[in-house]
Structure 1
Amino acid sequence: MSYNPFSLSGKVILVTGAAGGIGKATAKECSRLGATLILADINEKGLKETMELLDTSLNQIHHYCKVDFTKEQEIIDLVMGLPVLDGCVCNAGVMKLTLLQFVSVEEIERIQRINLIAPMLLTKYLVKKKRVAKGSSIVFTASAGGVFRVSIGNGIYATTKCGVDAFMRTAALELGAKGIRCNSVNPGMVLTNLINCGQFTEEELEKELRNYPLGRYGTPEDIAYAIVYLLSDASSWMTGTALKLDGGMTLS
């Protein structure tokens, strides 16, 4: 086999939110680089579709679990059924644009529970139940929105992603002594169902695109490649970093 510092061969990796978008692309690329995958999402149909895309050329046996990440007990049950992991991608998330005068407690709590509380609890139980190996890597999907810029109507989502970023850095500090690395990816606009579900009009998307010096929105694969880097031994001296992936959008 040719030399590849980004190889994930022999690693066991959990990917949440794996039924579509960034999670699906990440699972696919990780399997191609040799990892054995455990996929988790509430969307079982999407999980099965992702499973069909996974590489098994190195005799990996992949698994999936249907999990409602709004429920702590289901997170505990997921963790208790896991082998010891070499990597975890906390990617499950939701988004809804709401102007501040229309924000409701119900929406705040729903989005916060999935985007912020779930990865915090998952990390807690992975560590507490000793399901992450020394030298492992935990990657959180945060966002350029909130962490590096703000936009109209995005207050709830941006707030959760700022929380993810702060939690990631705290976890990196606390878990460094255990040899566990924690980093985040912070995408700009990525062409996934989160933005293709009617929340943006074609005119709004065309207008926003002018803010991207590279002239295009991101793809799920763009983010997946960065996640692969953070999971691999190529980033073994990297922890507590929020990796911005935005096509240059935040330059101005």
Structure 2
Amino acid sequence: MNSPFSLAGKNILVTGASSGIGRALAIECSLQGAAVTISGRNSDRLAETLELLFKGPDHQCFIADLDVDEEVYALADSLSRLDGLILNAGLIKSMPAKFTKREHIDQIFNVNFYSTALLVQRLLKGRKLNTGASICLISSVASQYVSVGNTIYSASKGAVNSYTKALALELSSKQIRVNAILPGFVNTNLLSDSHVTAEELAVHEGKYPIGRFGTPQDVAYLGVYLLSDASSWMTGSLLTLDGGFSLR
């Protein structure tokens, strides 16, 4: 039986696929039948992701630091035509506004926004996106519900949101859809590797009406929907996925 949620026959690129949300997205796309190309900076972790992909279509791995323009272009130029694109590479770095320096702004925006815009530009110029393709950007609920110390991170994700809407309108004539997922706190290594204590995390988790933080799989399932034909009438949407956090 054909399913509108199937990705069979589709070629999908997932950036930031070394771990966490990106890894879950890549795995779930492969389970739904897609041929997946994964990219990331850490070759060992990216190889682990490649081994976890469902063995069906040919999958590919490309080491790229999207903080470097030349590597962004090399990644785009190496790809065959795509039916789906998940732009997940991102950086979280918190600091009070009064301590922010130009290098901090550049670092966060380079990874969270500039690399995304440059990669999409190169893919479009190279005619690498098929008619009917779907682009899914991973933003953050922090773009709309801010917290102390996240001025630059929130601003970078706000740029992603605006870019999503503008790009969706621009590409609509080509039948290319563009949407963004805005996750709340997702339980990944970014949380466990942070300086936030377990007690502080527990207090914050209590603010989620569903009663828990998200998982990478939660995001992956929504990502698959956005890449599939089931969402063929959805474009320009910012989809909040936060266990009800933004209802508070």
TM-score band by shorter chain is over 0.9
Q: Per the alignment, in what secondary structure is the counterpart of residue 92 of structure 2?
A: coil
Structure 1 residue aligned with 2:59: 62
Deviation at 1:198, TM superposition (A): 2.2
Is 2:112 the counterpart of 1:111?
A: no
Q: Per the alignment, in what secondary structure is the counterpart of residue 14 of structure 1?
A: strand
What CA deviation, in whole Å up to 9, does each residue of 1:147-195 have, x standing for no partner?
x200111111111100001001110010000111000000000011222
Is 2:77 the counterpart of 1:43?
A: no
Structure 1 residue aligned with 2:164: 168
Equivalent of residue 123 in structure 1, options 104, 107, 120:
120
Taking the TM superposition and a 5 Å limit, the aligned residue runs for 1:1-252 are 2-56=1-55, 59-146=56-143, 148-252=144-248
TM-score, normalising length: structure 1: 0.97
Residue-pair matches, total: 248
Segments of 5+ residues of structure 1 without an aligned counterpart are: none
TM-score, normalising length: structure 2: 0.98
Amino acid at match of 1:165: N
Aligned identity (percent) is 44
Could you tell me how far apart the structure 2 residues matched to 1:160 and 1:46 are? 26
Amino acid at match of 2:63: K
What CA deviation, in whole Å up to 9, does each residue of 1:41-77 have, x standing for no partner?
1111111000011002xx3110010001011111111
Segments of 5+ residues of structure 2 without an aligned counterpart are: none
Tell me which stretches of 4 or more aligned residues in structure 1 moved more than 2 Å: none
Could you tell me how far apart the structure 1 residues matched to 2:194 and 2:76 are? 34
Q: Is the 8 A contact 1:22 1:224 kept in 2?
A: yes
Deviation at 1:128, TM superposition (A): 0.8
